[in-house]
Structure 1
């Protein structure tokens, strides 16, 4: 081997040595810092997720076909003649009912209970009620306004709504699975459920779990004072109040 070749190998070895001394520690340092950053990022994400999860109450999300059920899009006219959509309730916890103003049976009891709930949460700007009439031909905004005044409905986020009958019935029967329909043989000409649905700030239908399953809806007819209805079922207004508080705190 010639001296020239020896010098070439020595030169290359020297360059590699210099490179190792100068640049390798920098590369290692960057990799280490990068790993720390990624670890910190993963740690931050885990903490944020834990914080979000800890804010959720023990109330169940109601599911259909494996998906959490949300309030369907709707657009109706309230007692003040204003168009109200589901977006007007975003960021609010609210109770849903279907009723009609000339109802001679369960509606008055339902709305007396709702007014008591309204009064309990009068200091919460993010609480509301959505009342949909199932007799929109008669229940005009003016009629709904008089009804609201008569019952002492004062919460600005309590909207009594009227509009297209088919759209309301679809919302009740297909959107919430809360039965509503016309029946000439029923008192008042209509029949409907006396149940309330509870909605969280993100528009999801929620309820408490009893005996391992969500109750889905809350009985709205029996008052706290009555305690038990004619069928021996306990009132659920008190637990509805408790669960509204849970959702307000989420």
Structure 2
């Protein structure tokens, strides 16, 4: 009887350990992204609904930025190279301009070109909205800040990358300006891409 009990416990432990080793994605939070329809670097409309069914990673930047945007863009380009090297295909990189008055589609395209990403087709550089709109989207959907002071050409904004699942829900954030956890992001994106959307 005791032998059967021990074997039963061992079998249960093996199942649990096996399930753990399979991995899977664990969300840090669940922030539903508010609906939007903006304009990308090709002067095309891009809506939240267009991104449904696709895993995407978001950032907030602007072309006239003198500080954190340069490393954020460079790091995102490096991340895409690692995704490419890992054979990850089904994803998008969404960059929201925090200075939409000055960041035209052409300006955003020129800015992206300067970083020479491995696959520009994955990038959506978004503009075409008011300053209030982007500040509201940042805090309301991504729980990050965007603040433009009148009379100043710089915009204060968060430096996190936000990972969004196929249902349009932000599920995890990472440091985007320095010490970027590339391996973890690639692992998380792979896991999310394998998941079926819930809606």
User: TM-score, normalization: structure 1?
Assistant: 0.63
Counterpart CA distance in 2 for 1:118 and 1:60 is 21
Shift of 1:205: 1.5
Selected match of 1:139 from 103, 108, 123: 103
Structure 1 residue runs without a partner (length 5+): 1-54, 64-68, 208-216, 224-234
Shift of 1:121: 2.2
Counterpart CA distance in 2 for 1:78 and 1:59 is 31
| CA distance 1:185–1:164, change in 2 (3 Å) | closer
In the other structure, the counterpart of 1:174 is 140
| CA distance 1:92–1:240, change in 2 (3 Å) | same
- Tell me, yes or no, if structure 1 residue 62 matches structure 2 residue 26: no
* Runs of 4+ residues deviating >4 angstroms: none
Shift of 1:58: 3.4
Selected match of 2:71 from 97, 109, 123: 109
Structure 2 residue runs without a partner (length 5+): 1-21
Query: Which deviations, in whole Å up to 9, do the C-alpha atoms of 1:9-35 show, x marking residues without a partner?
Result: xxxxxxxxxxxxxxxxxxxxxxxxxxx
Contact 1:220-1:237 at 8 Å conserved across structures? no
Matches for 1:67-86 after TM superposition, within 5 Å:
69-86=31-48
Matches for 1:44-59 after TM superposition, within 5 Å:
57-59=24-26
Counterpart CA distance in 2 for 1:56 and 1:88 is 29
Q: CA RMSD in A?
A: 2.1
In the other structure, the counterpart of 1:194 is 159
Aligned length: 170
Counterpart CA distance in 1 for 2:41 and 2:82 is 22
Shift of 1:56: 8.6
Query: Which deviations, in whole Å up to 9, do the C-alpha atoms of 1:68-103 show, x marking residues without a partner?
Result: x32211111000000001112122111111110111
Shift of 1:170: 1.1
Contact 1:61-1:204 at 8 Å conserved across structures? no
In the other structure, the counterpart of 2:178 is 222
